[in-house]
Structure 1
Amino acid sequence: MIKENDIDIKSYINAISDRKISYEENVAYIMPEGSADGVDVLNEFSPDLRKDLKEFGVKAVVVKGEAHTYQALRSADIILPLIFGIPFAVLANFLTDWLRQNIAKDKTVSVKFIKKDGENYKEIIIEGSGVEVESIINSLKDH
């Protein structure tokens, strides 16, 4: 399953700025899941994705305020945090490699990212088995 929504990228850049992080092109920003009482809630996969993106050759930043906590997702599903800021082709190559190395092919996966579409931006959410998600990401590389 794939969902696409048009978004205003300025709100994401403002969220980064509010946390005293400078926005730069070609940096992967791993966004918090939300905020409660001024405390950023981060996905438990955020630190690992940041490390793995760095090893892949991509500068990555986990976007968090001074007050933050990690949300442990104890379900059978793998829900990755929202990533944006790098070209889709780079992110797609990273994600397909990452899924192959880290996720069982029959495990349910949810991937969220922001893709530039001309002058606009789209938030894309892909859900399915590891194999299905990898196939959808590969099909989007051509668009």
Structure 2
Amino acid sequence: MKQFVKRFVKRWLPAACGRLVRLFAKSDEGSGTVSGIALITVAAVMLGVVAAAGNLLICLHRAQYVADLAAVAAATALREGSATPCEAASRTTHGNDGELQSCAILGEDVQVTVGVGTKVPFASQVSKSSRAGPVACE
């Protein structure tokens, strides 16, 4: 029995495996191309998602920055006695490529909401709010 196993392992197993490998190798011609195309497609989609997320993140930070600037400009104009502090906020917002969506005077404080355009198709604009005014010294 041992000799049969040795002979089988030495002669027949490699021959049988070789036939199986050749059989399956013939049926796999061109499958690498399909896998390559799928891999490139997945990589391109992931790159697009990362680029869109990066653009949204940058625009969110820019919207907050512009909202802070507009709120401080409006609060300064209100403190200096201007009758139209929201005009100062609007000028500041438009000067920084934003859009003033709302401006409210709350006592000595000013609250503004600013929108900034993005280059992402499903989110054409992002908005942020900011509030500014004098702080009492104690």
TM-score per shorter chain, which class? under 0.3
Q: Which has the higher strand share?
A: 1
TM-score normalized with structure 2 length: 0.23
Of structures 1 and 2, the one scoring higher in RCO (CA 8 A, sep 6+) is 1
Q: Which has the higher helix share?
A: 2
For the pair shown, the structure with the greater C-alpha radius of gyration is 2
